[in-house]
């Protein structure tokens, strides 16, 4: 617990120095940049989409008044259109992306008539997922500017602004309903602990804490997304979401490790190697959560985003692999004990339970890390929420399975074994040994 507190303090301290973004309203500083293409942000528009662009502090490294400023500007493009534009550039059909009829030209610097700032409101009538891109087709010209971009859709009869991308606008309701489910589960779990209070272990209270943290994490995420939907900015709700996300992540991985070791309900202490796993997992979860904050709060095309994404994936994979070791150790120890202590049925039931948990943990990790990512990749931007819901339902199923299989029992099933079950278990272990040989 002390390690968790120190890790939380470190995460909170670092989080204070992270420059939080503004969701679908973004501020970007460009300084002496010679890149011909600079992608800014991505957004799913409906048929009533709007882009508000405010560009200020414009400065070009070349002050020549004869520069063709029509070759410097902003445009919107879908992914498919951009692939064709690249082909046009390769074939020499166009010399600048701004000249292509496949992109939606928002504005160019020629329209600003040499001013150091300008404002543009661009209407998007074709529903699709677009990327806001800045193009500089002037060689050896570096650009400096400050860009504020706001993208939203007009919804309802009153045409109110919805700053969440199409496909994400339903997420506040999804998160809120799921938070109610977890609060209900917490209430049910409290009732179970009260009814079976004579057989409750410390691990059961730890499980309650994980469920409560998950519920608060979801309700703060719902409020975070809801505020962004209405205003385009989180206004601090994202900080609460990240804090509870951090606590939930550490507690969940710690719980998996503790259950895998059999702590509390099988033994009152942790072995040194099991403590080392926790010493590895908890700090790595701090790094993973910091990486997640940076990923969420930067533009999809930010320079550091790819690096932090790689860090997050690497750390997450290490954590997922690390939590499996205690379960494997418990399975190995129970198999050895089943052959030596004469309680084959008791240990076989424990062994079966840990085998099931091992398989479920692997399935949970695989689904939430691989399948959900695949869903995000293959589904249309309009159905982005389905991949989020799939991941959350898989997490809910994992929580329910864990609670059901490791709930406090009035009669400990590990020791309520008769002679026939003992003989059957011994025979099964013998057959398993013969099969392995």
- The residues of the chain scoring below 70 in pLDDT are 1-23, 236, 263-271, 274, 296-305, 334-352, 410-437
Angle at CA of residue 97, ends 91 and 99, nearest 5°: 90
DSSP secondary structure letters along 280-345 = HHHHHHHHHHHHHHHHHHS-TT-TTHHHHHHHHHHHHHHHHHHTHHHHHHHHHHHHHHHHHSS-HH
Percent of the chain with pLDDT over 90: 37
- What's residue 370's pLDDT? 84
**Alpha helices (H) along 55-109:** 79-91
- 3-class state of residue 264 by DSSP: coil
Contacts of 346 (CB under 8 A, 6+ apart): 414, 415, 417
Q: Please report where in the chains the tokens 């994400």 appear, as a residue.
A: 168
């Amino acid at each position: 617990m002390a390690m968790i507190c120190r890790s939380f303090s470190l995460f909170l301290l670092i989080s204070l120095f992270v420059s939080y973004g503004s969701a679908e309203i973004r501020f970007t500083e460009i300084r002496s940049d010679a890149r011909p293409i600079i992608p800014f942000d991505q957004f799913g528009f409906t048929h009533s989409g709007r882009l508000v662009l405010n560009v200020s502090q414009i400065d070009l490294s070349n002050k020549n008044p004869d520069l063709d400023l029509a070759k410097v500007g902003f445009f919107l493009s879908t992914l498919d259109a951009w692939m064709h534009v690249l082909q046009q550039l390769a074939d020499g059909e166009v010399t600048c992306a701004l000249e292509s009829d496949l992109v939606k030209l928002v504005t160019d610097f020629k329209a600003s008539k040499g001013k150091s700032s300008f404002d543009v409101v661009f209407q998007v009538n074709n529903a699709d997922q677009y990327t806001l891109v800045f193009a500089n087709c002037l060689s050896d010209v570096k650009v400096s500017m400050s860009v504020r971009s706001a993208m939203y859709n007009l919804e309802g009869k009153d045409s109110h602004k919805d700053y969440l991308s199409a496909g994400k606008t339903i997420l506040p309701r999804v998160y809120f309903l799921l938070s109610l489910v977890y609060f209900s589960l917490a209430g049910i779990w409290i009732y179970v602990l009260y009814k079976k209070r004579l057989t409750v272990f410390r691990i059961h209270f730890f499980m309650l804490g994980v469920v409560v943290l998950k519920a608060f994490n979801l309700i703060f995420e719902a409020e975070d997304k809801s505020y962004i939907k209405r205003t385009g900015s989180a206004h601090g709700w994202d900080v609460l979401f990240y804090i509870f996300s951090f606590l939930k992540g550490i507690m969940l991985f710690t719980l998996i490790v503790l259950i895998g070791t059999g702590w509390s309900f099988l033994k009152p202490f942790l072995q040194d190697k099991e403590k080392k796993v926790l010493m590895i997992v908890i700090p790595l979860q701090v790094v993973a959560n910091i990486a997640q904050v940076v990923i969420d709060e930067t533009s999809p095309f930010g320079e550091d985003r790819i690096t932090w994404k790689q860090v997050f994936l690497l750390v997450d994979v290490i954590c997922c692999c690390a939590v499996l070791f205690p379960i494997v150790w418990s399975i190995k120890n129970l198999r050895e004990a089943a052959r030596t202590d004469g309680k084959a049925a008791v240990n076989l039931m424990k062994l079966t339970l840990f085998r099931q948990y091992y398989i479920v943990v692997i399935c949970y990790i695989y689904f939430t890390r691989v399948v959900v990512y695949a869903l995000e990749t293959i589904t249309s931007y309009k159905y982005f929420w389905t991949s989020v819901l799939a991941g959350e339902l898989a997490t809910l199923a994992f929580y329910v399975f864990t609670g059901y299989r490791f709930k406090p029992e009035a009669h400990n099933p590990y020791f309520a074994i008769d002679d026939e079950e003992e003989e059957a278990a011994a025979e099964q272990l013998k057959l398993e040994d013969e099969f392995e040989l």
